[in-house]
Amino acid sequence: MDFKTTPLSLRPLPFDKTVFPNDPRTSIQIFTNSSRPAKYEAANILGKEYDMEYIQNSDLEGDLTSLVRVYNEWVNSILTSDLEDRYQESISGSSNENNEIKHEETVPPDRLNRLQVRSGSLHPPRNRKEGDLAIKLADFLCEMDSDHRTFNLSGGKQFMEKHHLIPMEQYFNFEKSVDHYLNIYSLCPTCHRKIHYGEKEDRKEMLEILYGMRKTNYQEIYGIQLNDLFRYYNV
Ligand SMILES: [Zn+2]
Ligand SMILES: [Zn+2]
């Protein structure tokens, strides 16, 4: 790729006019023909130009804080979407699978005491194996309707997605970990999108069905009623 001729506007710009309202610059110019500075020019996300005469009086510290904030928001928005894809990527499809989580482990472990920040993600880490076990226990079928079809993974098993009925955002409100297969449902991608983005009434109906399937677990292990779920989902 020729960084010198790549249009800067093609980059995803987390450009925020509120950061530097008076002097918003989206591009920098280093005025050289060598390749490394050209890459800096191309990779610049947000910048501010200072006049050498007045740089003493500038709020450098405040500017740097703003830059770091924009950078962190940007990186985090990218990493979160990446992690979702990686999380849904199932390992259960392989034929020589070796699932370490035992079927008898029917009580979720206590939750962690604090947030674990890993690779910039702010959520508690989700254990892919718990989700894979949930899908395996559902026989690689959609728990809303076992007739829903997706496609087969290379290992021959049908692809399904993992959904935490008690959302991970509620992680710290429970004594027991909600990242446990008892709280994870196997859903086809359409049903999964629907429970996240569907119409209020449809989502409500789905919650009722899914909660009903494991009502005893939800009441005894997590101590929640259907109405609590409605609250989490804003329905
Ligand atoms: Zn989900
Ligand atoms: Zn489905």
Cα–Cα distances in Å, from 35 out to 25, 47, 187?
22, 20, 48
Ligand nearest to the CA of 195: 1
Q: For residue 191, report the distance from its CA to the centre of ligand 1, in Å.
A: 10
Q: For residue 207, report the distance from its CA to the centre of ligand 2, in Å.
A: 13
Are the beta carbons of 78 and 120 closer than 8 angstroms?
Answer: no
pLDDT for the residue 131? 92
Residue 80, pLDDT above cutoff 60:
no
pLDDT for the residue 69? 81
Higher pLDDT among residues 11 and 222, named by residue: 222
Alpha carbons 110 and 96: distance in angstroms, whole number: 30
Q: For residue 171, report the distance from its CA to the centre of ligand 2, in Å.
A: 25
**Number of residues in the chain:** 235
Q: For residue 188, report the distance from its CA to the centre of ligand 2, in Å.
A: 4
Q: For residue 198, report the distance from its CA to the centre of ligand 2, in Å.
A: 13
Share of the chain above pLDDT 70, in %: 67
Residue 81, pLDDT above cutoff 90:
no
- Per-residue confidence at 168, pLDDT binned at 50, 70, 90? confident
**Helices 200-213 and 189-197: crossing angle, nearest 10°?**
120
Enumerate residues with CB within 5 Å of ligand 2 (an ion).
142, 144, 148, 188, 191
pLDDT for the residue 99? 47
Look at residue 176 and give its three-state secondary structure. Answer: strand
Are the beta carbons of 189 and 149 closer than 8 angstroms?
Answer: no
Domain residue spans in the chain? 8-82, 109-232
Range from 36-50, 74-88, 123-137, 178-192 carrying the lowest mean pLDDT:
74-88
Token pair 């530097």 is at which residue?
A: 20
pLDDT for the residue 118? 54
pLDDT for the residue 141? 98
Residue 119, pLDDT above cutoff 60:
no
Complex ipTM value? 0.97
Higher pLDDT among residues 91 and 228, named by residue: 228
Ligand nearest to the CA of 233: 1
Range from 8-12, 60-64, 83-87, 145-149 carrying the lowest mean pLDDT:
8-12
Ligand nearest to the CA of 158: 2
Are the beta carbons of 16 and 2 closer than 8 angstroms?
Answer: no
